[in-house]
Structures are given as structure tokens and as C-alpha cells.
Structure 1
């Protein structure tokens, strides 16, 4: 579910008074300042040398109480920015700090399972600190008991809208650095043992200042953690948006094993990122159909049409990267987003892409392009040396053939 602001460049809308939607939080308890972030308890995370440690998530009902907020005095709700099956995001004004924020709240019809998923989303979002993961500022409950959390308000547009506005392949390729930033954010989550499970262009927000944020972590989970099934009544039954039930994710971007309802790991996120890169190159997702059911069936039963067939002008290296990321068998994909991002980064910097097979001629050509200046300097130096040698030999020959000429003296 893409709950994002969709109007770029707009400042904070005039907020409205909402006496029936005033927000409050439970009383706080004394605890060290560094043990909290945004009013959400952050357990100390052990770290191993050289890499980040997996997340340890407390059960939702064991979460520490949030920071105390005077009822009716902290947030004033404004325009709705986005809505999904589980909740909605609205613009809000923080009266205490004098700033505009985004506030996500559970919809009134959400059941206990939805509330627990929401609580887990709060904990995951609070603990995944990365420049391309929206920071969580605060959390609490409505007067009617529905939970909410507050995050930074990012003005910008979803990547799918930017792709739709770029008609030519060359225009869409300028969005590749933004996609790489999103890949890096997911790589950070994978290193912490978390998978997103609902990656798609609509959940990648490109801000007006060039920042890139991966949003909507409502289906994220710690790898190996059990899912709570059932209670899918709050979700659309047959749409191209996120569904909660036996299948998680968005048809058209979910991996085949995800479409079959099987256990997932980082490679399912790799597939979704590959599908996003496919859409960037081809202008359309790898799977499409008139209904979610049909798209899911296609995803789980066959490979995608090669992207170079749909987009003949696509760079060969990116075609290879897409093909590896979208492998039907998870064993054929990149193991995680970090490995995928490394190949995309190598392409952008002109280096050889690990997954691509180059001919000797292609290797020489790419080497020449990457080292253009040093090779040009070396070529000019070689020409200068050759010219000097030719002049010297020509002078010696001329002197030797001239009658009575004295030998040339070089000092």
C-alpha cells in the first residue's frame, strides 16, 4: 500500500481543528534517554565486529509506553496524503515543535491483527536508521484507542509517477541513482535481518531536494519470524494493491515464491527491486493483467519476458542485472540487496558488472572509456617521443649524406 504524498512542491496545507481526533499517549516511565527514540522503546542492539547485528523485536504487547503528550495539544490533523487497507497517512502540525509532520494511523475498521502489525511496523521503522528510511519521531494512541505514529514529512513524488512522466528510455535512466539509493536502504534492512515484502516504485519516494525514501514498512518482518494469518477483511480482495492474508505483497512485483505463499528471505526483495528496475527500463512492470488473481497466477508459473525484448535499447549490463534479479528460482538471484546494489553501482561508475559476461573487445572498450584521460595523455606522450625520434634519425641521415658535413654533436 502506497501511502505517500502525491503532490510535489506543495508546502504544508492549512491544518484544520479536529476535536474528535486529538492525540494523546500513555504516561511515560523514567528510563535512560538513549533507550528511546520517538517515544518508542529501543532495546540495546548487540553488534558483532565488522557487521550489523540482526534486529531483536519485542512482542507488540510488551512495548514500553510512549512519551507523554498532553491530550489535544500536540498534533493538529490536516489533509490526507495517502490511504491503504490497513491505515492512512495525514499531514499534521506539531504544535509543540512548530513543524509539519506526517502522521500514520490505523483505520477504524482495523482488527486486532492489524493493530499488532501496526505496532510491529512502529518498532521496525524506529530501529532501521538509514538516510533513505523515513525517521520515526513519535508514537501514541488516539482517544478511541487506535495507534498512530509520526514521521518526517517528505515532499516529493513516488518513483512510479516519475517513471510515467519519462517517456524515453534515456529519461528513465536518469532515475537509476534514485533506485540505487532505495536498494542501499533495503541492503541496510537485510543486514539487520529485516525484509520489506512490499517493494515497488510507488513505495520509493523521491523528494523535492533529491532525497530518496523507502516507505510503507507495514508488511516488513524479521527473517524467520512467524506471520499472523487471517483477518484479511480490511484488505481489498482483488486489487493490484497490498493484501494481507495468505499472500503478502503487490501483484506484479512480488516474487514467484511470494505469490505461492511460501517462506521468504532477502531474495524476494531482490526480485521486487529487479521488477522495479525492469519497469524503469521497459516503462511497464514485468507482470500485468486485468486482476490481481491473474497477475499472481502469471508470476508464480512462468519467467518474465526479457527486458531487452521490450526495451531493445536498454544497456546490456542492466539487462543482465535485471535477468539475474528476476530469476524464477531464488537460487539464481542475487543473495541480497547489497549484492544487487554493488552491480548497479559498478554500472553507474563505468566498472565491469560482475554478473555480465563481456567479450574481449567490450572489456577493452570499457577500459578505454573509464581511463580516457590517462590513455589520452599516454597517447600524446607516445606521439611526442615518436616525433622526436623521427626528427633525430632524419637529422643523422641528412648529415651522413651531405659531402664534407661535420658530424652532428648532441650535448
Structure 2
């Protein structure tokens, strides 16, 4: 992508490029009206009219999703505008280190990892209270300031209550490694999907291993849908045993068995960090047939919560295999191989598997 042919986006004078991705460029800029530095995320609209409307709607949705939030653990959005064929968002400058970078240096000390995860949970609780589901919680979307203050970034695939872009049922959005089962299956998501993603991310923070593995995409997706992660304390005995309960509850396949509120998860993480046991006892949950039987079970699942059957995590009836798999390949976490023969070889087998599963789902409906 070529840089814009001008020096200003509105009142923001471009100073230097901070980074870029497939969809845009981020600049350090100066707000000439308020004389402060800001970060400006800019995107060139495509020439095709259909793609143009989709991209503009999603870009505006990102600004709307984060712009309506005011929380110390969420990035602050200042402005949204357009300059020629370029859209831009002005936001606070975050001078810190991506969580992904911290994790690549080795295991985080448990108290720090738990503190960062609790802060992310608090930020998510604030977003969920405003009707915003992030849908792409992962280490590269968390900035850590001053070595400990976490901020959630990049609401590019967030879903808001009044969205300009309606995400079709059956299309997966997000990063495969941290997706919830309902995202993998192409079903509608709610705040509990973010809780699952946070649990997966925290698991990797404290163990150094993904909660759901497999070098191949097909294995990863299968594990998210069907397998239970090894208790974290088996991989890192320095962790408090209570954390196994918190992680298992956050990563339940059945959303009704997860934390129903991210703030409740934040409180339990703080209890893990300080060594205080939460007052609510952990009791077995009757097995009502979620994908993968629960091994560690929640104490606060409502008795009237809807059961999730084994068939629920078959692909949604509207599941578009080609589009979903292509989206997954494009969204693969930075640092992993972006393509190659092994990924290409997986695409069509996955298409046929997804199509077959979709047919079974329709037959069972």
C-alpha cells in the first residue's frame, strides 16, 4: 500500500509511520488544534463500489465501537474523518509493548500475567456493558504500558448493537488460535465469546503453550470444538491451583457454563493473584451434552440456562466454507507462516468436511 499523497488528515499533521497491515497504515501525528500527539489509523478505500461500502462501514464501526467507550483498559478514540479516498481514526498514542512481544520473551511472572488478564477482563466488561463484543481478543491486540497497564486495541471486527455492517451468520471473524467454539462453527457470538478468547490467551501467557494446538489449521479447529486443555498447573507448577478452575470455566465449550460477566472473571483472577479464595464454592454442573464434557465446572451456571447439544457446534446452516476458511487463513496470527503448500493443501479438504458437517446439521435440525 502506497502512503497517502498529502501531509495532513484533517487537522492532524503526519509525523512518521508507526506500522502498517493489510488494511491500513498507522501514523504518529500532531493535532494542530490541541497541540498534542495522536496516533492516526488510515485506510485507503478500494475502487470497487461494493468492497468500498463494506470497508467503509467496517472502518466506521471500529471507530463507533471503541469511540463510545471510556475506560482505563480500552484505547481512547478522539476523532473519525475522511480525506479524499482515505478514512482515518485519530486515537491516543500508546507507548508500550504489545503483549505478544512480552510473551515471545518467555513466561510472564504469574502475578503479572494475572494482573494483565484481570485488566483486560475489566475492559471487556465495560465494552460488553455498551453492547460491544470485541471478537478478536489476542496478544497483538493488547498493549502493555509501563510494564503492567493493559489496554485493549483494535475493534476492527467488533460487533455493536447498532452496526453499519451486519456480519452474516456462518462467517467466522477473528484469529483462529483464540477463537471460541461458536466462532469456529460460524454461529452468532455474544460477550461470552470474548471470555473464552481471554481464557485461551491467559492460558498461553502462563504456560507458554496454546490452549488448543496442532500445527495444522484443521487440528486447531477440531481441538477448539472438541478437546479440553491440559490443566495449566501441570505445565507450570508455580501457578495457584485456583487458576485451573478459572481457566476451565472461561474455556467451557458451552457458553452457558462460562463466566457470564467478564467482571466476575476479573474478580476471580484477582483472587488468584492475591491468594484469596472466592466465596462462591465450585460445584459440579450436570452434564447436559455440551461439546467436550466439562472437567472443571462452574458454581454459578443458572439452572434455567439453555442446554447446548452436541449438534450445536456443527457449522451453522448458513456457513460459507470457502469464505470462512479464506478469512481464517488471512487472519492467521502474525509470525506464523502466511501460506505455503501445507495450508493450501488443507483448504479444500476443510471445505468438504465443513460442507458435510453442514449437511448433517441441516438433517438433524
* Same fold by TM-score greater than 0.5: yes
Residue in structure 1 matched with residue 69 of structure 2 by the alignment: 128
Q: Give the whole-Å Cα distance in 2 for the aligned partners of 1:197 and 1:18.
A: 30
Which residue, out of 172, 184, 206, partners 1:281?
206
Residue in structure 1 matched with residue 225 of structure 2 by the alignment: 300
Question: How far does residue 263 in structure 1 lie from its aligned partner after superposition?
Answer: 1.0
Matched, 1:271 2:196: yes
Q: Residues 151-162 of structure 1: matches in 2 within 5 Å?
A: 151-162=91-102
Q: Give the whole-Å Cα distance in 1 for the aligned partners of 2:164 and 2:172.
A: 14
Matched, 1:191 2:129: yes
Question: How far does residue 356 in structure 1 lie from its aligned partner after superposition?
Answer: 6.1
Q: Give the whole-Å Cα distance in 2 for the aligned partners of 1:104 and 1:97.
A: 18
Residue in structure 1 matched with residue 341 of structure 2 by the alignment: none
Matched, 1:208 2:146: yes
Which residue, out of 10, 13, 22, partners 2:8?
22
Residue in structure 2 matched with residue 81 of structure 1 by the alignment: 19
Question: How far does residue 318 in structure 1 lie from its aligned partner after superposition?
Answer: 0.8
Q: Give the whole-Å Cα distance in 1 for the aligned partners of 2:64 and 2:162.
A: 17
2:233·2:244 contact (CA, 8 Å) conserved in 1? Answer: yes
RMSD of aligned alpha carbons: 2.7
SS at match of 2:178: coil
Cα distance, 1:266–1:137 mapped onto 2, change above 3 Å: same
Question: How far does residue 293 in structure 1 lie from its aligned partner after superposition?
Answer: 4.7
Question: How far does residue 104 in structure 1 lie from its aligned partner after superposition?
Answer: 0.8
Per-residue displacement from partner, 1:7-34 (whole Å, max 9, x unpaired)? xxxxxxxxxx96535323xxxxxxxxxx
When the two structures are superposed, what TM-score results if normalisation uses the length of structure 1? 0.61
Matched, 1:254 2:179: yes
Q: Give the whole-Å Cα distance in 2 for the aligned partners of 1:114 and 1:297.
A: 31
Question: How far does residue 129 in structure 1 lie from its aligned partner after superposition?
Answer: 0.8
Residue in structure 1 matched with residue 29 of structure 2 by the alignment: 92
1:223·1:265 contact (CA, 8 Å) conserved in 2? Answer: no
1:76·1:94 contact (CA, 8 Å) conserved in 2? Answer: no
Question: How far does residue 346 in structure 1 lie from its aligned partner after superposition?
Answer: 2.2
1:132·1:214 contact (CA, 8 Å) conserved in 2? Answer: yes
Cα distance, 1:186–1:222 mapped onto 2, change above 3 Å: same
Aligned length: 277
Which residue, out of 34, 38, 60, partners 1:119?
60
Per-residue displacement from partner, 1:141-160 (whole Å, max 9, x unpaired)? 1222x211100111111112
Cα distance, 1:196–1:134 mapped onto 2, change above 3 Å: same
The 10-residue stretch of structure 1 (287-296 or 335-344) with the greater mean CA deviation from structure 2? 287-296
2:138·2:201 contact (CA, 8 Å) conserved in 1? Answer: yes
When the two structures are superposed, what TM-score results if normalisation uses the length of structure 2? 0.68
2:177·2:220 contact (CA, 8 Å) conserved in 1? Answer: yes
Q: Give the whole-Å Cα distance in 2 for the aligned partners of 1:292 and 1:346.
A: 35
SS at match of 1:248: coil
Per-residue displacement from partner, 1:224-261 (whole Å, max 9, x unpaired)? 9696357xxxxxxxxxxxxx981011111111111111
Q: Give the whole-Å Cα distance in 2 for the aligned partners of 1:291 and 1:269.
A: 23
Q: Show structure 2 runs of 5+ residues with no match.
A: 284-365
SS at match of 1:205: strand
SS at match of 1:178: helix
Cα distance, 1:342–1:228 mapped onto 2, change above 3 Å: same
SS at match of 2:151: strand
Question: How far does residue 122 in structure 1 lie from its aligned partner after superposition?
Answer: 1.0
Q: Give the whole-Å Cα distance in 2 for the aligned partners of 1:224 and 1:265.
A: 14
Which protein has the larger Cα radius of gyration, Structure 1 or Structure 2?
1
Q: Give the whole-Å Cα distance in 2 for the aligned partners of 1:136 and 1:227.
A: 19
1:200·1:273 contact (CA, 8 Å) conserved in 2? Answer: yes
Q: Give the whole-Å Cα distance in 1 for the aligned partners of 2:32 and 2:210.
A: 42
Per-residue displacement from partner, 1:22-69 (whole Å, max 9, x unpaired)? 323xxxxxxxxxxxxxxxxxxxxxxxxxxxxxxxxxxxxxxxxxxxx4
Residue in structure 2 matched with residue 324 of structure 1 by the alignment: 249
Residue in structure 2 matched with residue 166 of structure 1 by the alignment: 106
Q: Residues 95-110 of structure 1: matches in 2 within 5 Å?
A: 95-109=32-46
